[in-house]
Structure 1
Amino acid sequence: MDKKLPYYEIPKLPEETNAATVLSRLVDGLGFRYHWATEGLTVDEIDFRPVESSRNMLELLDHIYNLAHAAHKVLTNSTMPKKGISKYEEYRAETLSLYWDLSQHLREMDPKTLENYNYNGSTQSFPFWYLINGQIADALTHVGQVVSWRRIAGNPQPKGVNVFLGKKS
């Protein structure tokens, strides 16, 4: 178990409750789930795909990384380009880092500032709300796929992960 990577445990509760800190906590929940969904994957799971027409696990981790990068880019105004990643360990570390940095940024953000954040698509602009039902909800769905696929492949998520408390016993 790697306690050096973010989200071994979910961080303490924000001191204030506002739109930015609630969004931060949602990202924390996603980061915690991702940390444990991806902990201890083996080569067998990395290459696994439940059916031929689906992504394999590494392709799924790439997709989650892209979702994390997009949410981070929009909400932090980052100009950081995506990294050229090809290995499971790199995807895991970079995705967790992006979610951690995004959450910390949101905790410090003036909630009024959040109202002005827009996701600029190729033809139109969308308020930050679309990141919740878009990239963040999509990432939660795909983290659930990681948990399911690794179970199907014979290596279930480590025992003792409590997503309600954000701890592992």
Structure 2
Amino acid sequence: MGSSGRESDRAAAGRDRDDEGRARNARPRDGLGRPLPHGTPGVARQPEGVVRSPQDTVAEARALLAAGKPFHAHEVFEDAWKSGPREERPLWRGLAQLAVGLTHAARGNTTGGPLLLRRGAGATEEWAAVTGRWRPYGMDVAALAAWARDLADEVERDTSPVDPGARAPRL
């Protein structure tokens, strides 16, 4: 039928878990978040669960995007999405989708990249339309959405991976 609690505990015993039993992934990753073989030097990950001000979130994500690290920027936006005020969560979720869409485009994923770029564009525009805030924290939501849709179209036309630093959005 199913495994007993003891079997589940034994299976989890060999996995990397935090103090609360949640899975951690200590496996090294490259600059685009792809897992590398154990023992390979990887790129340091963003710490998870950091509560930042919205201005600090934008500044840190901006720097990461400019450095060609959209996967890391996605993690910063995800922290804001999970810890920010309820009314702003759709904005941060949409921005995280834009960053992970760029990540997939840089990995050469011509299906997932455009899908996430368009989803993020729609989410941020919808949030701006509902709230009337088209320039939250100095970001131009309409310009970000246009950037995302243009990049999605480009990725579908030219299937080569994009340079994430060169194609990063201006926040």
Same fold (TM over 0.5): no
The structure with the larger Rg is: 2
Greater fraction strand: 1
Higher relative contact order, structure no. (Cα contacts within 8 Å, ≥ 6 residues apart): 1
